[in-house]
Structure 1
Amino acid sequence: MIDKLEFLITLSRERHFGHAAESCGVSQPTFSAGIKQLEDTLGVLLVERGSRFRGFTPEGERVLDWARRIVSDTRAMRQEIDALKHGLAGHLRMAAIPTALPIVAMLTTPYQSNHPDVRFTIHSRTSIEVLSMLENLEIDAGLTYLDNEPLGRVQSVPLYTEYYRLLASSEGPLADRESVTWHEVGQMPLCLLTPDMQNRRIIDAQLAEVGAEVEPRLESDSVIVLIAHVRTGKWTSVMPSRLAEVLGVTKNVRAIPIVDPVVTHSIGLVVPHRNPLTPLISALVAEAKQLAPVLEGIAAIKSPPESADA
């Protein structure tokens, strides 16, 4: 039964029978037969029939909700039994929005020191993808914004408050400025993340609020691409303060606080809404709770002034 429920979860993620079968490591006939067996066992149709996947029936949606709970509980039970027998070990899968990636090492490094038999896989994803992967049991935890879009059924641990910086040439027209306004940012030759990124949506909304048109000269889903362009001295970008400090600031690049207004958002860890948590996730939450006051202390020290000296 558990393997058939996992088939259903995979189908909800892939939205395609062939891709779902491949993801599960079985042939498409075996996969389709597994779904049919599940329908026969439950006595209801779960999938809208057609030449291609068309969605789930209302009954299928309810079974999918239960499948996620049952598979999650089964994995948790197995993991807890293994932890009792052998200590904490296994594979922890995480996804983070690109702007929060510098924080991942601050979680995984002390975690691995305390639990050396745990290995990690880290994905860079949009905020929407982080939540979708968490719901479909593709990851165990995520790092994302906590206060800008609905999170759904998750548990969260706030880690730090994010501020925003204009990355610009240290020899450009803003080289001697202690801060810049959002209106001034809108006048700069910007390179920004693509619109599917929540960071970009935050920037767009803020620029629109001050009457500035958002017309970046370059878009990318990679912060490395943006930083490389800024370092040429010909481009500017808007990035969260922590990302700017870790990746962007060099002798040729300044990270200038953006004010009027000072915009902040909460970044944190999200994990499945279940009790008890698996041992691996529980240990990660414990690390996050220890890290949070450290990060907030750093953020408070480096927070920008409330207004510019323009």
Structure 2
Amino acid sequence: MLFRQLEYLVALSRERHFARAAQACYVSQPALSEAIRKLEDELDVPLVRRGRKYEGLTPEGERIVLWAQRILADRDSLKSEVTALRSGLSGRLRIGAVPTASGAVAQLTGPFCAEHPLVTVEVRADMQSDDILRQLQNFEIDAGITYLHRDLPEGFQAVPLYQERYVLLTEAADGLAQRTEATWAEASRLPLCLLTGAMQGRRVLDELFAEAGLRPSPRVETDSVAALFAHVRTGRWASIVPHTWLHVFGVPHGMRAVPMTDPDRAVPIGLVTTSRDPVSPMARALTQTAHRTDVAAILERLPGD
């Protein structure tokens, strides 16, 4: 059994198409097909449902893909470990983040890159919580920054980073903009622009509205926090955003950010990695950075306080 055969099988599972999988692996389609067929012969189980075109993996193939992903991840971790022992950590760190936490990622990547100058960082923002856990499990990312207000499934571990608080973002001329705080009931009566219901950040807001006996009816929904700011800037809409995004955009001219109260709630955000042993060098190094960095203290004060 060769690592190359496992790579081809994982690529086929991901691309769901022989030609695209071959292209992703920089080989010809016949070469990829023959390597997977030899893997089937060696394991003595069918891995691919074959017809006139690709029809998916067999149940055995689905199980073998999980092993292949783990074996390849362990191979990469072994290489990284040896390189780190010889010349320091190098390679690529892959981080996934929910949209509302994207503004806080830089609080970790900055000190991480200073500590590990040979590592490049790839941040995949705008991810949903379930996708982060799935990609961690499939070794497609090294770490995720997501909500911790519910128990993590078995096989994951977390480092709490900060408590996500919420502010009402509205035009400066609005009556609520002159206040030091705003209630969820008051916000519900405004023409709101919020994240879409498919996103965890929106579901958190819905839970907070429900706690106040309310159900929001936003006129505009989006999957982009930046789009929320853009809509509020027009003067037609108000929005509720995590306070961390004010550290990215500030409070734009003509707007005000008013802390939300009644209920006054915060939702924990943390760094999530798999709990397998040994942990990958990238995940271990980022976790160490997270323990040494007081992200909560950095984000505690709103700009302009």
Which residue of structure 2 lines up, in the alignment, with residue 131 of structure 1? 133
Counterpart of 1:225? 227
Query: Is 1:61–2:62 an aligned residue pair?
Result: yes
* 1:269 maps to 2:271: yes
Residue 3 of structure 2 aligns with an amino acid whose one-letter code is I
Partner AA of 1:2 in structure 2:
F
Q: Is 1:285 matched with 2:287?
A: yes
Q: What are the ranges of 5 or more consecutive residues in structure 1 without an aligned counterpart? A: 303-310
1:222–1:300 CA distance, 2 compared to 1 (3 A): closer
Determine if contact 1:165/1:238 at 8 Å carries over to the other structure.
yes
CA distance in 2, matches of 1:160, 1:255: 19
Residue 145 of structure 1 corresponds to which residue in structure 2? 147
Aligned runs of 1:1-310 on 2, under 5 Å? 1-51=2-52, 53-124=54-125, 125-148=127-150, 150-151=152-153, 153-291=155-293, 294-297=294-297
Partners of 1:264 and 1:119 lie apart in 2 by 32
**Shift in CA distance, 256/113, structure 1 to aligned 2, threshold 3 Å:** same
Question: Contact 1:167/1:244 (CA < 8 Å) preserved in 2?
Answer: no
Query: How much does 1:287 deviate?
Result: 0.4
1:35-59 deviation digits (Å, cap 9, x = unpaired): 2222211111223444555544332
Worse overlay, 145-154 or 225-234: 145-154
The residue matched to 1:160 in structure 2 has which SS? strand
Contact 1:172–1:233, Cα closer than 8 Å, also in 2: no
Aligned residues of 2:211 and 2:263 also touching (Cα < 8 A): no
In structure 2, relative to structure 1, the CA distance for the partners of 1:47 and 1:152 (3 Å cut) is farther
Alpha carbons 2:184, 2:260 under 8 Å: kept: yes
Give the Å deviation of 1:28.
3.3
Deviates more, 1:94-103 or 1:43-52: 43-52
Tell whether the 8 Å contact from 1:92 to 1:280 is kept in structure 2 after alignment.
yes
| Aligned partners of 1:13 and 1:136 also within 8 Å | no
8 Å contact from structure 2 (residues 182, 260) kept in 1 = yes
Report the 3-state secondary structure (helix = DSSP H, G, I; strand = E; otherwise coil) of the residue aligned with 1:255: strand
Secondary structure (helix, strand or coil) at the match of 1:6 reads helix
Q: 1:279 to 1:205 in 2, by over 3 A?
A: same
Structure-2-length-normalised TM-score: 0.88
Q: Give the total of aligned pairs.
A: 300
Distance 1:254 1:242 in 2: 15
| Alpha-carbon distance between aligned partners in 2 of 1:146 and 1:157, rounded to the nearest angstrom | 9
Distance 1:33 1:205 in 2: 52
Q: What whole-Å deviation, never above 9, does each CA across 1:131-168 have from its counterpart, x for those lacking one?
A: 22222222221211122475552222111111122111
Partner of 1:305: none
Alpha-carbon deviations, 1:51-106, whole Å to 9, x = none? 55554433223322222221111111111111222222221121211111122211
Q: What secondary structure does 1:94 align onto? A: strand
Cα contact 2:5–2:39 (8 A) shared by 1: yes
Q: Which moved more, 1:81-90 or 1:147-156?
A: 147-156
- Which AA in structure 2 matches 1:286? Q
Tell me how far 1:286 sits from its aligned partner.
0.5
- Compute the displacement of 1:299 (Å): 6.0
Q: Deviations over 1:221-249 (max 9, x none)?
A: 22111111112222111111112343251
Matched position secondary structure for 2:176: coil
| Conserved? CA contact 2:177–2:257, under 8 Å | no
Structure-2 separation of matches of 1:189 and 1:148: 30
Residue 174 of structure 1 deviates from its aligned partner by: 0.6
**Is the contact between residue 107 and residue 295 of structure 2 (CA under 8 Å) also seen in structure 1?**
no
